[in-house]
A and B are shown apart, each in its own frame.
Chain A
Amino acid sequence: MAIEQTGDARTGEQDLVGRAREGDGLAFRRLVEPHLGVLLRIATRVSQNPQLAEDAVQETLTIAFERLSGYRHETPFRAYLAGIAARQAYTLVRAERRRRKREEGAAHPEVPPGPEEQARAATTARQVRAALLDMPDKRREAALLRLDAGLSYRDIALALGSTEGSARVLVHTALKELRERLAPLLELEDPHEPSIG
């Protein structure tokens, strides 16, 4: 999943960043377009709501542009965007929760019901999401950046503003917690593996 950038790609990226800073919309589009899939994946993972996920990506793009003057070239652009998306998606989810609490009435199902297989997939996705949302912020962000954005420890450290060692520990703790929470799903996912009692 990870994409290692070549020197030329980085130079092109730097050029696009410079042009986008000057207000070139096309340059900004070309800069972010290769990463939109990852951003949408992170946002959908956290929100489980297509509309909310799209809103979160739009917010991410706006924030990314606003902070572009502070962007440093040693950080891969994917890490820069994914770091914002991981935070922003959760912020929107929290706001949505508060809004729903305020609103009286039946809660709408986040994923529309469908055939049995689709419903099972949706249930699994919800369990994964629930496990993520129960985690502390930094740990959740580390898990999303590792498993959804496919970032290396170094890039996760750059996205989170920490050291590589801290990022490694954070990811390790996050994955351990996820393994414990999602153990039944992991066993289903790989039926050949003997289950550990």
Chain B
Amino acid sequence: MSHQSDEEERLQRLFDATAGAPEGERLDRLARFAAQVPARHVPVWKRWLRRTPALALAFAGVTVLALWMGRTRPLAVELGLPHPSANVVEEPVAEEDDPFALEVPEDDEFMIDDPLAALDDNGGESPLALLDLLAIPEDDAALDTWSEAMKP
């Protein structure tokens, strides 16, 4: 031990005086116990499993089930069982109900043969010219007044 101060030495004497001499018999018993400790030692996980047999049983059950399920999948294929998706059957649709199957009559008066030509058929003027109505005239005084008013 490193150097002790006087105060510490006094405490040390008090501790020594009240420690009592260990009996040889007890020390022998403890030494014999020590020799058996490695043999008695059980890993923590084993001890844990021993203390909880129900949990161990459940764990074993889940493991067996998982293994069994793993085996049943390829077995089903070997037996030629149908895949679950084979049960999905497409329902037949009547031809008269299928919009893509309808035939267009030759003499349909509402049919537009050439949509682009129809756009030009507006008295010689493009229907896009109607958009000019929305154009703002350059000399719109009211708009100028409003713009001025909105300036910060």
Residues of A within 8 A of B (CB): 1-2, 20, 23-26, 28-29, 32-33, 36-37, 39-41, 44-45, 50, 54, 57-58, 61-62, 65-66, 121, 124-125, 128, 146-148, 150-153, 175, 178-179, 182, 185-186, 189-190, 193
Contact = CB atoms under 8 A, between A and B. Distances in A.
Contact of B35 (A2, A26, A58, A150): A26
Nearest to B26: A54
B39 A189 contact: no
Interface in B71-96: none
Nearest to A39: B30
Interface stretch (B16-24, B126-134, B143-151): B16-24
Contacts of A23: 38-39, 41
A62 B40 CA distance: 9
Contacts of A66: 41, 44
Contacts of A148: 15, 19
8 contacts: A1-B1, A2-B1, A36-B34, A39-B30, A40-B26, A40-B30, A65-B38, A124-B14
Given A40-B30, A125-B20, 20 more contacts: A25-B35, A26-B35, A28-B34, A29-B32, A33-B34, A39-B30, A40-B26, A45-B18, A61-B33, A61-B37, A65-B37, A65-B41, A125-B18, A146-B1, A147-B12, A148-B19, A152-B2, A175-B8, A185-B14, A186-B10
Contacts of A20: 38
B101 to A, nearest CB: 79
A186 B26 contact: no
B31 interface: yes
A61 B19 contact: no
Contact of B11 (A33, A40, A50, A147): A147
Nearest to A51: B26
B51 interface: no
Interface string B39-65: 111001000000000000000000000
Contacts of B15: 45, 128, 147-148
Contacts, number: 106
Contact of A189 (B13, B27, B30, B36): B13
Nearest to A63: B37
Nearest to A3: B1
A29 B36 CA distance: 8
A56 B40 CA distance: 17
A16 to B, nearest CB: 12
A66 B37 CA distance: 9
Contacts of A36: 22, 27, 30-31, 34
Contacts of A39: 30
A25 to B, nearest CB: 4
Given A152-B1, A153-B2, A182-B11, A25 B37 contact: yes
A74 B14 CA distance: 31
A128 B2 CA distance: 23
Contacts of A128: 14-15, 18
A32 B12 CA distance: 24
A76 to B, nearest CB: 12
